[in-house]
């Protein structure tokens, strides 16, 4: 069964989990297409900030960090958006676990 989820962050970002592909749409980006990663390759790091979280999404290295090569997205998440972002990335992790089977 294919799964589909969306998560809006502010009026700038829309994160989409389409089955096993994560896409980041950025309203202010000069790219004509979204950034995309397969869930088995995506890495996510979150660091607390005064007003919420700084979330970095990109290619995951063997050690579980974000690769310095290739594109990545940095998204500032407000305190009010943290719960929905955590819930969204729970679904991403679940899709990764399914693809690893």
3 state SS for 19-55: CCEEEEEECCCCCCCCEEEECCCEEEEEEEECCEEEE
| Whole-number average pLDDT of the chain | 91
What pTM does this model have?
0.89
Residue of higher predicted confidence among 2 and 60: 60
Residue 97: the pLDDT is 85
Cβ atoms of 43 and 65 within 8 Å: the answer is yes
Q: Which two tokens stand for residue 8?
A: 């809006």
Q: Quickly state the pLDDT bin for 68 (edges 50, 70, 90).
A: confident
User: What pLDDT was estimated at residue 100?
Assistant: 61
Mean per-residue pLDDT, 74-79? 96
Tens of pLDDT, residues 7-51: 999 999 999 999 999 999 999 988 778 999 999 999 999 999 999
The pLDDT of 63-81, averaged and rounded, is 88
């Amino acid at each position: 069964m294919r799964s589909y989820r969306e998560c809006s962050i502010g009026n700038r970002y829309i994160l989409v989990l389409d089955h096993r592909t994560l896409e980041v749409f950025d309203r202010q980006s000069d790219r004509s297409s979204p950034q995309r990663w397969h869930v088995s390759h995506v890495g996510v790091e979150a660091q607390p900030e005064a007003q919420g979280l700084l979330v970095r999404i990109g290619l995951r290295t063997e050690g579980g960090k974000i690769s310095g090569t290739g594109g990545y997205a940095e998204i500032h998440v407000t305190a009010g958006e943290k719960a929905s972002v955590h819930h969204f990335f729970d679904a991403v992790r679940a899709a990764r676990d399914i693809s690893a089977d």
